[in-house]
Chains A and B, each alone.
Chain A
Amino acid sequence: MSDVANHITIVEEPEETLSMNPRKFILWLFIVSIIMLFAAMTSAYLVRRAEGNWLEYTIPPIFTYSSIVLVVSSLTMHWAYLSAKKDNFASLKTAITVTFALGMVFLYMQFQGWVELVNQKVFFVGNPAGSFMYVFTGLHAFHLITGLFVLVFALVAAFRLRIHAKSLEQIQIAASYWHFLDILWLYLFIFLVYFH
């Protein structure tokens, strides 16, 4: 026994303790919890849909256009990040403002989508197929509004010159969250189109 122990030589390297930025890490964990929220919703959708008695309706085309708007807003968000990296403050402020405006346009288009659903006689109260549509878009819109608040904070910081090439943390967090909201919507939209 001791013979064996003597022969085994375990050389343990001292591991550098991870020092990721805690605030960015918190954002990622927050994103995980949002993913789980929507994962639960979409699996509930699938389970319910498999049981039959499912209302068929066409998804209003405006949701396609709003998706494009949101993708464009992600691009402008990235533009904001690149501007911050290059210390180009004028275009940083413009880019954040444009992203914010596109976010508002997206929300308005989502609302128009609801109006068109109502015109198609697909109501929130009624067959769960329609209810789920409202819940998905509504919950995503709620998270997008929180994203708009993050943008406002970033814009204020940009005006106070607190975002620059040496201090990118805030714009990185805002951008990551915004891109996540974009990807989340694309997931929901493709999901709704595919499992229709």
Chain B
Amino acid sequence: MATVAQNTATLAHVEEHEHHEPHSFWRKYIFSEDHKTIAKQYLISGIFWSVVGISLSVMFRLQLGFPDMKLSFLRPILGSWIDETGKLDPDFYLALVTMHGTIMVFFVLTAGLSGTFSNFLIPLQVGARDMASGFLNMLSYWFFFLASVVMFVSLFFETGPAAGGWVVYPPLSALPQAHKGSEAGMTYWLVSMALFIVSQLLGGINYITTVINLRTRGMSFSKLPLTVWAFFLTAVLGLISFPVLLSAALLLIFDRSFGTSFYLSEIFIGGEALPNVGGSPILFQHLFWFLGHPEVYIVLLPALGMTSEIIATNARKPIFGYRAMIASMMGIAFLAFIVWAHHMFVTGMNPFLGSIFMFLTLIIAVPSAVKAFNYITTLWRGNIRFTPAMLFSIGLVSFFISGGLTGLILGNSALDIQLHDTYFVVAHFHLVMGAASAFGLLAGVYHWFPKMFGRMMNDKLGYIHFWLTFIGIYLVFFPMHYIGIAGFPRRYYAFTSYDFTKHIFSDMNSFISVAAIFTFAAQWIFVWNFVYSIFKGRKAPQNPWKSNTLEWTAPINPGHGNWPGEIPAVYRWPYDYSKPGAKDDFIPQNVPYSQTPESNLPHENELIPLEKEIEAQNLNDQFKQPH
């Protein structure tokens, strides 16, 4: 029988329990099959990519906010993309927005978020020694690494990286002669994304298999933490939608490199007709958004799962509506596949079809609202501890609501005619998907840092980081809604040359740019805190947040195999916080009901005889050595 007390007692001789032969440096830190190391590799790659991605956005914000500014000081980095008069090259502006979108959506918020926390938390929270296949897991990271290298290299081409927007619509992306960015940059984009998709599929297959097959004794699906539920559903979404993007990319590659006409038809360049006939560019949009929309939830669901956990822990209350949370995540995951055409309302779609997609889209508001209310009711009258992770989680709830409300407006096919491709859309998805997921990522880092590195991050710096970021993000994206309603289209190099934009909102655009630079600057506090704490942070205690989930029963620095002895069995759900009658305000999942007679409810007392059966179940230990 594994209890907290016994587990902490075993910690003293963790070192002696090291029963696997020590790995060489390369096997331990580089080509590691250990899920914890792979998670850290993903996290550090994600932080690197987020610095690159946000820097690109600062560059184009300078252009948008201060169109007359001399940008000569950027020449050491951008070289000839800044011309003699100090102006940013308009072609490169398009490359900047494209790469910002691609990097942030795929490399930071998909790989950096799911890659880090699915890898780190799934085995630790379901009670497994490692992922189902450590080898596939390692391959997953290195495919991602390869995709990263290819994408990074493309930034330095003379013709620039891909520049057709992160959605890479043909014909712009299919014809190398269409745009500088459609030359080598686009080829590398496609190669990189194909590698990325392989990486995500390998990772996702592993996550699903681990959650289904490697749960410890007693860990039924109704006792899984919401984090694991979220990672599981995210992986299912990825497994179903990423192959579709691969199909779309494959056909695009054939069109680009072999002269087929899947997406191309009757195009004239310089008065000359191209040989391609019979293709349909709308076909690409259907295929792309069949991935593209679930991708939004691939980015957001892990953040929602982690913040559910963090909010319940730090409000010292059971999560409100555990089953409703699961049901709403399932609802969101299902609806994600049947709403893709709301990105295409203005493609000449049949208005009747548009109204069907509008209806389906607006239904997403129901499970989303369930989640938002459950967050708020969990916070309601809780003994809230404002740790940095908790602040970021509450920040996520704020962004989720304020960004989600504008989703109701955009989901309306009539209103979308005015708002399509304006800054209103940009503001909407940056709040609800970008900032919310980024806050989930940051909350996760602050919360699980002690488990990852055995040290604590600095709280004071965390608070400063939170407030500067939270205020900064609203200062950036709130004004953007007004610019969007005024009809300012996204992806425009400058608004100074059009009559309808020439005289208005230039001051607000400058304001947004200043706020964006301010927010970017604030992130260095986090980077410093992260790096400093890895080496010099305060040593972490066993269970710093007094949390219930299984990862806190593992040693402070878990070795290969996570638990030195037997994997703990699970007897209760993970949200027994502030249970009336209990001596502590939390009861970890591995404490049996027979040890807590003072706080058991009548139906829980009836579960006591079943504990023997849980313990009698097979160990489900993939290393086949219960020690």
**Given A15-B220, A51-B280, A131-B260, also A37-B212 (CB < 8 A):** no
Interface 1/0 per residue, B607-627 and A, CB below 8 Å:
100110110011010100000
Say whether B50 faces chain A, with CB atoms less than 8 Å apart: no
Known: A15-B220, A44-B251, A44-B287. A26 touches B243 (CB 8 A): no
CB contact list, A1-33 vs B, under 8 A: 5-6, 8-23, 25-26, 29-30, 32-33
**Separation in Å of the B131 CB from the closest CB of chain A?**
9
Closest 9 CB pairs of A and B: A40-B247, A36-B243, A37-B243, A40-B244, A22-B132, A125-B259, A29-B205, A15-B220, A131-B260
**Does chain A have a CB within 8 A of B541?**
no
Please tell me if the beta carbons of B213 and A128 are within 8 angstroms of each other in the complex.
no
Tell me if B310 counts as interface (CB < 8 A to partner A): no
User: In the complex the two chains form, is A17's CB within 8 Å of B216's CB?
Assistant: yes
Q: How far is the CA of A55 from the CA of B260 in the complex (A)?
A: 14
B218 at the interface (CB under 8 A from A): yes
* A29 interface neighbour in B209, B219, B241, B617, Cβ under 8 Å: B209
Residues of B within 8 A of A17 (CB): 215-220, 617, 620
List, in ascending order, chain B residues with CB within 8 A of A19's CB.
213, 618, 620
Contact of A25 among B213, B250, B614, B622 (CB under 8 A): B213
Q: Are B622's CB and A22's CB within 8 A?
A: yes
Tell me which residues across on chain A come within 8 A of B215, comparing CB atoms.
Answer: 17-18
Assess whether B240 is in contact with A36, with CB atoms less than 8 Å apart. yes
Contact with A along B237-261 (1 / 0, CB 8 A): 0011111101110110010001111
**B606 proximal to A (CB < 8 A):** yes
Number of interface residues of A (CB under 8 A): 45
A124 beta carbon closer than 8 Å to chain B: yes
Complex: A9 Cα to B603 Cα, angstroms: 6
A131-164 to B contact mask, C-beta < 8 Å, 1/0? 1000100010000000000000000000000000
- At the interface, yes or no: B262 with Cβ under 8 Å from chain A? yes
- B260 / chain A contacts, CB cutoff of 8 Å: 124-126, 128, 131
The yes or no answer to A34 lying at the interface (CB within 8 A) is yes
Interface of chain B: mostly helix, strand, loop or mixed: helix
Whether A25 touches B212, Cβ cut-off 8 Å, given contacts A34-B243, A44-B283, A131-B260, is: yes
State the CA gap A146–B620 with chains docked (Å). Answer: 31
A-B pair number, CB within 8 angstroms? 138
Contact A18 B239 (CB under 8 A): no
Q: Check if B243 sits within 8 Å of A40, measured CB to CB.
A: yes
Shortest CB distance A57–B (Å): 14
Tell me if B133 is interfacial: C-beta within 8 Å of chain A. Answer: yes
Please state if B213 and A22 are interface contacts (CB–CB under 8 Å): yes
A-B contact pairs, 10 of them (CB 8 A): A11-B606, A15-B221, A22-B132, A22-B622, A26-B132, A30-B201, A32-B240, A36-B243, A47-B280, A53-B278
CB distance from A127 to the nearest CB of B (A): 5
Q: What is the CA–CA distance of A128 and B246 in the complex, to the nearest angstrom? A: 18
- Residues on A with C-beta less than 8 A from B602 are 5-6, 9
Q: Which residues of A22-80 have CB atoms within 8 Å of chain B's CB atoms?
A: 22-23, 25-26, 29-30, 32-34, 36-37, 39-41, 44, 47-48, 51, 53-55
Shortest distance from the beta carbon of A55 to any chain B beta carbon, whole Å: 8
A53 proximity list for chain B (CB < 8 A):
277-278
> With A19-B620, A125-B260, A126-B261 in contact, is A26–B603 under 8 Å at CB?
no
A108-135 with Cβ < 8 A to chain B: 124-128, 131, 135
Since A12-B607, A44-B287, A128-B279 are in contact, a sample of 19 more A-B pairs with Cβ atoms closer than 8 Å, ordered by chain A residue number, is A5-B602, A12-B610, A17-B219, A20-B212, A22-B132, A26-B205, A29-B204, A30-B201, A33-B240, A36-B243, A37-B243, A40-B244, A48-B262, A48-B279, A51-B280, A126-B261, A127-B277, A131-B262, A135-B251
